[in-house]
Structure 1
Amino acid sequence: MAQAGTFVFLDYYGRLAIERGFVKPEAEDEDENGEALPSTSGAAKPKVPTISHSAALIEDLTAHKTAALRVELANNPDVALVAVVHAMLLSVAYPYNSEQSALQLTLTPERLEPSMKNAESCKGLSAFNDLADNYGHHLPGNPAELFDWLLEQPQDIVLSLLAFGAAHSVNAVEKKFTDRKKGIEQANQLGRALKVNMPDWFETTGDSYFKHVNRMTIELSLAEARGSEAELSVRAAAKKSEAVTIADRLVAGTGWIPSPLRIAPSEAEQELGAESIAEDEQFPQAAE
């Protein structure tokens, strides 16, 4: 004990604690007769007392922490906006860095090119790629700096980035086999809210549409776009290639687009349209 040392520290509850009897490894002990004993350097070093928790307790405590964070975040829309945008941007602007967010948001950017016959001609795809390049030039290069950078931005910038991140997840692609029918239907609701005018984004031509459908579809499309005379002009064509050329010429400038491209009207709008048609049939216009 004459050569031993003592540790004085505060325990878990903040109280003074003293641990005695620790000997440095290089020190030598002597017995009562003054004879040297073997060095303690080979003995195990004493451990400094530390606080330890089981995995189950850590899980329990951090669940409480998560609950508190959820409540506080729900009551702070400004920080919540930043947190959501931060999580989104990690997914779309910093590949393989989504784990750097505490929020478990799943954002799946669906690649559209594989679904397109001619992706290079798509106005929407080109415009969105330009938008991504523009935002990419302003975001910090290091994803670890993104959250603090977002906190420093004015809210209108953060809202713009929110819209940019959310836009990556929009998916209205109808595939042959899909379990997303309800989501695809909601895309029409989204389109109505955005007041999307699809003819601004797609031009119906021979290359973009008519050469990919059969003769009957070409004829019915022209009847819908230009009337019965246009339909007869297409029907009179000897070959499909001629029908495609005629349809391309006749539909130009009409703004007509195929039904899968259209933003479907709401149920109320459909009912209103049906009533209007019924009234027209009930009270036909008098001949001049």
Structure 2
Amino acid sequence: MAKAIQKITLDRSDDIPFDKLELSQKNVRNIKAGVSIEELANDIALRGLLMSLNVRPMLGEEGKETGHYEVPAGGRRYRALELLIKQKRMAKTEPIPCIVKRGGATSLEDDSLAENVHRLQLHPLDQFRAFQTLHLQGLGEEEIAARYFVSVSTVRQRLRLASVSPRLLDLYASDEMKLEQVMAFSITNDHVRQEQVWDTVSRSHVRESYYIRRLLTETAVRVADRRAVYVGIEAYEAAGGVIMRDLFEQDQGGWLQDPALLEQLVFDRLKTDAEALKTQEGWKWVDAALDFPYGHTSGLRRFYGERAEVSAEELDRYDKVKAEYDKLDAEYAEAENYSEETETRIEELGNELDRLNDRPYVFDRQDVVRGGAFISLSASGELKIERGFVRPEDEPVVDVDERDAGDHDGGADDAVASATTGGVSVNGKSVAVESPEQEDDRVRPISDRVIEDLTATRTIAMRNALANDPVMAFVAALHVFVLKTFFVYGSDSCLEITLQSAKFSQTQDLGETVWAKEIEERHEVWGHDLPKDASEVWDYLVALDEASRQALFAHCVSQSLNAVVQAWNRRPAAIAHAEQLARSIAFDMVEAGWVPTVDNYLGRVTKAHILQAVLEAKGEQSAQLIDHLKKPDMAREAARLLEGSGWLPEPLRFAVDQAPVEIADHADDGPIEGSTAAASDVDLPAFLAEDVEGEGVSPEDVDAGEQRNLDAAE
């Protein structure tokens, strides 16, 4: 006969006045955690008591119930109700829903522990979706935050997480995706893009949240980008642009999701600013572009303005501000306590001094009407204006006849002499074509041959004198360099010294490097200091102090340095000399600040080169982490791994322990035409030594080099 299963009988509930309840000292919860008593009391006042208290009757001496009950489970709810009574928001006799337990096989401590341990926390996804439902029902973010005692930012975060693709949220619910990954996907509301990125990441070994964020934002533009700074976020959003925000990590303002719209806004504003500059300042032309290639001013004559004169009022104001600034700064330096008001005042005075010192440059109106300017964007997003350039076709036309007439008072004799000599003169005196001597009393022009011999003698004597005066020799060479560097149409020099400055307009973003900016700033400073007329440069250099003269000399000489290796022009001896020069000035590209990036190297070489770079800098284990990635992803990850490593590609390294260049099969033939005898004795980098042979690079070598470049770009 089957044994009957005993049925379970549950304890009955009852409403007990609060003043009949007492908190049991056997409640196991003693550590404060979660929502505070004050917040719980406010929630009970809002929605009532959602969970009954668990109570047991208190017994008297004979085991009879006294009418009072102790609360072993629900202590926080008890304290919250007690707080409401103290705040006079609830009567102390208010009936409280309770589950009354009489007898049983468990103790008070057992019941208290079971109530807390058996409670299952709500899955985060359920909470996200619940917040979303409340929001759809009309509750604002602030109201939800107030009801559940969290910050408004927390509510926004959870609402954003709930808006992620349902497919991805289902993966999170089944523990196939981590919360950090869901947080990364919440950057964008584009569910299609989210799922595309997840499909890519799920097939990869790299699934970290930073990688997901990178893939989601690779086509977007950061708010800190110079284009966004120039246009302004308000203008971008007013034009219909959308900004992606990361609510879980620092995003420096987020990402602009529509680069095409941003580019159009930039070009429109640049065009407007260029027209305004042309109209306001009277330039003949103003060219505007996001960037100009390095060396874009080559072939244009540059002229500089002069600082606006300081008025008496400005000078008086400067003296007063400077005196106040010095006094306040000295007093604050001796003060012991921090003063925000004093620091603010010092900063205001410093800014005013800067405004008074940085007076605008005033240009000659005759130069302005034939000159122009370039407008572009600086790295910080500010407008970069380069003023004072004249194109060759806009140069003023000088009438040769009028110029010659103004050089000297040409009398009748001069006119006759000029006609008979073909217009040749020295120091304003006509020079005759050599002819048989005519013995008469008339003083005829000196023959060309005599003049040549005399000036040759003078030249040799001057060479000797200049060799014995090193200071003037230095000034003379510097004079040539300054004319070639700063005066496109400058006067010639008696020194047959040439100075050339190669242009590298084919290299993208070269003008934005820190080195190019330093050169440009130094050139600007010297350009403003030098005389405007080339004929006055000599006197300026002679009067210049020695330190400034050497600095100017170094600047001009540096402009002629060219260590570029080109497929059609390898120049092994020149590159070897560049190595020697670099060592002599203790130059190193790492110390100079060069780091490998996607744009300058990693994105322009093959995957094998990228892996080789990581292998050399970080070891085999790091290379294996990225060897499965596609090239764009591999390049980005390699840039992150190489950051701070000091790694350099071979063309930027010093040649160390390289074998001298050997020119095969010509040991007995002497130097090859077009090469130098010293070239074979110089250590060259491997990338040059590999195929430098004979008379240089053949057309076949050029074609092969171009093919290698095409392979690297794939």
Q: Same fold (TM over 0.5)?
A: yes
- Residue aligned with 1:58, SS: helix
Q: Deviations over 1:231-288 (max 9, x none)?
A: 2122121x111111110110011121212122335879xx9xxxxxxxxxxxxxxxxx
Rg (Cα) greater in structure: 2
Q: 2:447 pairs with 51, 54, 58, which one?
A: 54
How far apart, in 2, do the equivalents of 1:216 and 1:139 lie? 51
Distance 2:561 2:498 in 1: 13
Q: Aligned residue for 1:213?
A: 605
SS of equivalent to 2:451 = helix
1:233 aligns with 2:600: no
Identity %: 30
Is the contact between residue 196 and residue 263 of structure 1 (CA under 8 Å) also seen in structure 2?
no
2:480 matched to which residue of 1? 87
Please list the CA deviations of residues 47-95 of structure 1 after superposition, one character each: whole Å capped at 9, or x if unmatched. 9933422222211211111111111111100111110100000000111
**1:172–1:187: 8 Å Cα contact kept in structure 2?**
yes
Pairing 1:161–2:552 present: yes
> Contact 1:83 / 1:103 at 8 angstroms: preserved in 2?
yes
Q: Does structure 2 conserve the Cα–Cα contact (< 8 Å) formed by 1:122 and 1:202?
A: no
For 1:209-236, what per-residue CA distance to the aligned partner results, in whole angstroms no more than 9, with x for missing partners? 1000001011111111111112212212
Alpha-carbon distance in 1 for matches of 2:491, 2:553? 16
**Aligned with 1:208: secondary structure?**
coil
Distance of 2:452 and 2:484 partners within structure 1: 27
Which runs of no fewer than 5 residues in structure 1 stay unpaired? 1-46, 272-288
Please identify runs of 4+ aligned residues in structure 1 that moved more than 3 A.
263-268
Q: Supply the distance in 1 between the matched residues of 2:582 and 2:491 (Cα, whole angstroms).
A: 29
2:500 to 108, 128, 139: 108
Give the aligned residue type for 1:224: E
What TM-score do you get using the length of structure 2 for normalisation?
Answer: 0.30
SS at the partner of 1:113? coil
2:570 aligned with 1:186 = no
Instruction: Tell me how far 1:161 sits from its aligned partner.
Output: 1.2
Q: What residue in structure 1 maps to residue 326 of structure 2?
A: none
Alpha-carbon distance change, 159 to 265 in structure 1, aligned in 2, over 3 angstroms: farther
Distance in 1 between the 2:572 and 2:449 partners? 42
Selected match of 1:196 from 576, 587, 590: 587
Distance of 1:76 and 1:188 partners within structure 2: 32
Contact 1:198 1:263 in 2 (8 A): no
Q: Does 1:76 align with 2:469?
A: yes
The 1:51–1:74 alpha-carbon spacing in structure 2 relative to 1, beyond 3 Å, is: farther
Per the normalisation by structure 1, the TM-score is: 0.71
Where in structure 2 are the equivalents of 1:200-279 lying within 5 Å?
A: 200-237=592-629, 239-265=630-656
Q: Please tell me the residue identity of whatever aligns with 1:72.
A: A
Query: Which residue, 91, 96, 100 being the options, matches 2:489?
Result: 96
How many aligned positions are there?
220
2:495 partner amino acid: L
2-side partners of 1:154 and 1:247: how far apart?
A: 50
Q: Who is 1:18 aligned against?
A: none
Q: 1:110 to 1:219 in 2, by over 3 A?
A: same
- The question of whether the paired residues in 2 share the 8 Å contact of 1:233 and 1:246 is answered with no
Secondary structure, aligned partner of 2:529: coil
CA distance in 1, matches of 2:516, 2:628: 37
Aligned mates of 2:501, 2:657 — CA distance in 1: 27
Residue 172 of structure 1 pairs with residue 560 of structure 2: no
Aligned position for 2:88 = none
Q: 1:49 to 1:234 in 2, by over 3 A?
A: farther
Q: 1:141 is matched with which residue?
A: 532
CA contact (8 A) 1:82 1:151 kept: yes
1:142, distance to aligned residue in structure 2 (A): 1.0
| Mapped contact 2:491–2:534 kept (Cα < 8 A) | no
Change in CA separation of 1:143 and 1:265 when aligned onto 2, cut-off 3 Å = farther
- Asked if 1 retains the 8 angstrom alpha-carbon contact of 2:479 and 2:541, the reply is yes
Q: Distance in 1 between matches of 2:532 and 2:598?
A: 44
The Cα of 1:113 is off from its aligned counterpart by 2.8
Residues 172 and 183 in structure 1, CA contact (< 8 A), matched pair in contact too: yes
C-alpha change, 1:87 and 1:211, in structure 2 (3 Å) is same
For structure 1, which segment, 140-149 or 117-126, has the greater mean C-alpha deviation from structure 2 after superposition? Answer: 117-126
Relative contact order: is structure 1 or structure 2 higher (C-alpha 8 Å, sep ≥ 6)?
1
Q: Is the 8 A contact 1:225 1:254 kept in 2?
A: yes
Alignment check: 8 A CA contact 1:91 1:98 kept = no
Closer/same/farther in 2, CA of residues 126 and 146 from structure 1, 3 Å limit:
same
Matched, 1:67 2:443: no
State how far apart, in whole Å, the 1-side matches of 2:658 and 2:510 are: 33
CA distance in 1, matches of 2:458, 2:465: 11
Q: Distance in 1 between matches of 2:546 and 2:459?
A: 26
- In structure 2, what residue type is equivalent to 1:193? S
* Higher deviation after alignment, 165-174 or 249-258: 249-258
Structure richer in strand, relative to its length: 2
- What is the distance in 2 between the residues matched to 1:132 and 1:263? 29
